[in-house]
Amino acid sequence: MNPATLIALALAIPLIGTVLILMSEGRPNQRETVTLVTAISLFGVVAQLVPEVYHGGRPALTLFQMLPGVALRFEIEPLGMMFACVASGLWIVNSIYSIGYMRAKKEHAQTRFYACFAIAIFGALGVATAGNMLTLFIFYEVLTISTYPLVAHHQDEESRRSGRIYLGILLSTSILFLLGGMIWTFVAAGTLDFRPGGILAGKLQGPAVGLMLFLYMYGIGKAALMPIHRWLPAAMVAPTPVSALLHAVAVVKAGVFTVLKVIVYLFGADFLRESGYADWLMYIATASLLLASCIAMTKDNLKARLAYSTVSQLAYVVLGGALLVPMGIVGGAMHIAMHAMGKITLFFCAGAIYVATGKTEISDMRGIGRTMPITLGAFLLGSLSVIGLPPFGGAWSKYFLMLGAVDRGQLIFAGALMVSSLLNIAYLLPVVARGFFARGDGAEEGAAVIREAPVFCLVPLCFTAAGCVLLFFYADSLYALLRPIAPG
């Protein structure tokens, strides 16, 4: 099968799956089988594109012209290939987890849930494979709109309010800032195509460079740069599989992926560095990663703590891009995959605890590690990866980010990265310590009866915890894939 056909098939499979899921209303076994078959089929198709991209190929597909000089066009380069693999691969384990979670909690509207999830993956695949900024923008908005029903899934007042915050911030930033930056780019450069080295060198100069960069960075609301991050903690009212989708599989990863695409393929790292008008982004990203970590330490609700952790970890990727040197950009790109595996593990564990015990507050989780040792053990592994300790995948992405800061001659940012890792320890490891070593109450302490979540919740979190370790040992392959995005 030729690469263009594979791209078309990768985009079609989630839509076909959505139709079949909707046709399975009232038949849960059929609906969940369709979901799993769709997810596995999508990953199989995406995986077939990896060898060509790895060896320098750039598969492309053009459907039709949307505007003069701007087509609905798809092209896969290394960064998009990685994101497509992350989204499609983690959809499989998230689907398995969703079956256990949604059935255990007897959630309503499960058909709508699985259908919206499939459309969200369609949006993520469109973002990953977009060949120009307008194509990316269309799928970026598909991702926003399709995840709104998931955020507001419970349909109570809190969920509706959180859904409005989610939709309001993401749509307003993309329409006011991102779309404005795209129009300006088209007027200045005459194209919106993604090209190695960028399209704006010689087309823009002076403070206009910094202003256009501002429009893009704050128009990409899914990257959750402070102070437009509020939608992300608000969205934690959603079921845990949705939180995993938001934080690891698609939504925020689409945000920081787009940040790197804009820096590398629209502006060009060399052009931004030479202009001198992009330095502000390093400071904003650093402030975000430190402040969000400090806020995370104050949160007793486990999902809220993990939400602010995500805001901080996303800023690592933005900082990597803002350093505008090869090691920083590659480190930021690697952190997308490393953080995805670590954070989905943590959210899976949080959901498993809720399913098994009904507990959501960290202060109520004393001694829970003795009744849920597998879950808390997986939480420890995911935490160590997010912190960046070997032998876990997060160690490599943070190492390359540190190298990028040193290469740029910005030791202050290298220091900030070290401080942030210490803060990661401060807000993640106490959860494990409380679970394993604090005295529990009642039956939890005395009997210490193992009471793990259902197997459909337990197996995925074990798989992703193991993935945190495997990414450490296979990081060289990921590095080799991503290195061409930042030559030099």
| Amino acid occupying residue 409 | G
Query: What is the pTM for the complete model shown?
Result: 0.96
Is 140 part of any domain? yes
Nearest to 263 by CA among 317, 191, 334: 317
Phi, psi angle pair for 71, to nearest 5°: -110, 160
Residues 111 and 38 in one domain: yes
**Residue 389 falls within a domain, yes or no?**
yes
Residue 267 within a domain? no
Domain that holds residue 396: 278-488
Question: What is the rounded distance in angstroms from the CA atom of residue 328 to the CA atom of residue 117?
Answer: 32
Taking the C-alpha atoms of residue 423 and residue 388, their distance in angstroms, rounded to an integer, is: 12
Same domain for 61 and 168, yes or no, is: yes
Please check whether residues 138 and 170 belong to one and the same domain.
yes
4 with 74, same domain: the answer is yes
Number of structural domains found in the chain:
2
Contact call for residues 461 and 345 (beta carbons, < 8 A) = yes
Tens of pLDDT along 293-336?
999 999 999 999 999 999 999 999 999 999 999 999 999 999 99
Q: Looking at the structure, do residues 30 and 149 belong to the same domain, yes or no?
A: yes
**Cα-only R_g, the chain:** 21
Do 239 and 385 share a domain, yes or no? Answer: no
**Same domain, yes or no: 195 and 286:** no
Strand partners of residue 132: 193
* Sign of the CA dihedral running 327, 221, 285, 387: negative
Q: Are residues 149 and 294 in the same domain?
A: no
Residue 286 sits in the same domain as residue 383: yes
Assess if residue 271 is contained within a domain.
no
Is 268 within the bounds of a domain?
A: no
**Same-domain check for residues 288 and 183:** no
Name residues whose C-beta falls within 8 Å of residue 385's C-beta, 6 or more positions apart in sequence: 338, 341, 342, 345, 392, 393, 394, 395, 468, 471
- What digits encode the pLDDT tens for the residues 37-69? 999 999 999 999 999 999 999 999 999 998 888
The count of residues in the chain is: 488
User: Looking at the structure, do residues 349 and 238 belong to the same domain, yes or no?
Assistant: no
Residue range 149-162: average pLDDT? 91
pLDDT band at 446 (very low <50, low <70, confident <90, very high): very low
Residues 157 and 243 in one domain: yes
CA distance to 78, 154, 335, per residue, from 260 (Å): 12, 34, 12
The string of pLDDT tens digits covering residues 182-227 is 999 999 999 999 999 999 998 999 999 999 999 999 999 999 999 9
